[in-house]
Amino acid sequence: MRIKGISLLSVFVLTGLFLHAGPQLDIDKVKERKKWEIFLKSADIISHEDIGEGITKPKKLFLRLGPREEMGVWKNPEGIQKGFKDEWRYEIAAYEMDKLLGLGMVPPTVERRFRGRKGSLQLWIELEMNELERVKNEIKVPDEKKEKWQKSIYLARAFDSLIGNIDRTQQNIRYTKDWRLILIDHSRSFRTKRIYTDQLIYGKHGMRSNMLFPTLPRKFVEAVKSLSYDSIKEAVGDYLGYYEIEAVLARKKLLIKEVNDMIKERGEEAVLY
C-alpha cells in the first residue's frame, strides 16, 4: 500500500499516534478508535479509484455516513503474491495487535466487503512524506522533534519484530506534518517459518542487526510480557490462526530476552522510559 498524495483527515484527532514518544503510553487518548471502526464498517461507499501503487493493488474508497465523508484504503490480497504470502487479514490483525499493545501507530482497520469480496479497509490518513522521500531529499528532522522521532523508529522496529513483518520498507514508514509516525502495509506480517521464530527481524541478534531498538517504553515492554495465546486470540479473533499466534509468542520470548540483555548491559534506566 505504497500511497502518495494522502488526503486530509479533518476530524480524526490522531493524539494516540505519537504517544509512545512521550514518557509513557496513554491508552486513554486513543479511545476514539472505536468510533472510526464503526464508521469504516457502516459508511456507504460513494465511489472508488485505483491508487496506482503497490503489488496488492489497493483501492481508495470514498465513504459517507450521515454528514461525514472520509476515505479509506481497501486491500484484498490472499495467498502468494510475487513469491511472498500476502494476506489482507494480516492488516486487521496488525491493527488489533497495535490496540492490544497500546501503541496507536496503525490507523483503524476493519474487514469490509467491496464488490462482493472480503478485504481490509483502513482509514485514510493525511501524511506529509515517507522515509524514502525524507532520506532522498535530505530532509532533517527538526531538533525539537528528533528525540520523539527516534523513539518512534525504535518502537516500530520492536513492533515489527514481534509481529514478524518482513516488509517494512522506507515507503511504508510515513510521517504526518508534525512528525508523528504512521505504520501502514502489514499484509506480509505474522510469518510462521522457523527462520522467523528463531530470530527477530531487528535488534542486536536479529536478521538486520544494524537496526536496533536500544530504548523502548516501559509500558510497551510490560504489555509484551503480558501477551498470552488467549489474550492475542481474543484481540485478533479469526484473523490469525493457531500457528500464527504461537509464532508471535515465540518472538515475544526473543524480544523480552533482547530487552533483558540490554538492561543487564546498560541498566534499566538507560533502556526503559
pLDDT given for residue 20 in this prediction: 43
Residue 180: the pLDDT is 87
State the Cα–Cα distance between residues 133 and 42, nearest whole angstrom: 35
What is the model's pLDDT at position 199? 97
pLDDT, tens only, 89-126? 999 999 999 999 989 889 999 999 999 999 999 999 88
Phi-psi region of 267 (alpha: psi -120 to 50; beta: other; left: phi over 0): left
d(CA 213, CA 160) in angstroms, rounded, equals 11
pLDDT in tens, 213-231: 999 999 999 999 999 999 9
Which residues lie closer than 8 Å to 199 by C-beta, 6 or more apart? 205, 206, 207, 254
Tell me which H or E stretch contains 86.
strand 84-87
pLDDT at 258 over 60: yes
Higher pLDDT, 54 or 56: 56
Average pLDDT over residues 84-93: 96
What integer pLDDT is reported at residue 16 of this predicted model?
A: 38
* 231 close to 81: Cβ distance less than 8 angstroms: no
What is the structure's pLDDT at 237?
97
Strand partners, 49: 60
pLDDT tens, position by position, 155-166:
999 999 999 999
Alpha-carbon gap, residue 139 to 137, rounded angstroms: 5
Cα distances from 232 to residues 27, 237, 249, in angstroms, run 17, 8, 9
| Span 239-253, average pLDDT | 98
H helices of 60-211, where?
A: 88-101, 131-136, 143-163
- CB proximity list for 34: less than 8 A, separation 6 or greater: none
On the question of pLDDT at 208 being above 90, the answer is: yes
The answer to whether 182 and 127 have CB atoms below 8 angstroms apart is: yes
Residue that is written with C-alpha cell 531538533 in the block: 143
pLDDT at site 31: 65
Question: Can you tell me the distance from the alpha carbon of 132 to that of 170, in angstroms, rounded to the nearest whole number?
Answer: 5
Indicate the helix (H) or strand (E) that contains 230: helix 229-236
On the question of pLDDT at 207 being above 60, the answer is yes
Under 8 Å CB-to-CB from 80, ≥6 apart: which residues? 86
Least confident residue range of 18-27, 42-51, 256-265: 18-27
pLDDT range class, residue 21, cuts 50, 70, 90: very low
Residue 28 has pLDDT above 50, yes or no: no
**Which pTM value belongs to this model?**
0.88
How many degrees, rounded to 5, is the angle at CA 50 between CA 139 and CA 106? 55
What was the pLDDT predicted at 55? Answer: 64
pLDDT at 50 over 50: yes
- Say how far apart CA 43 and CA 63 lie, in whole Å: 6
Q: Which three cell numbers stand for residue 46?
A: 460513494
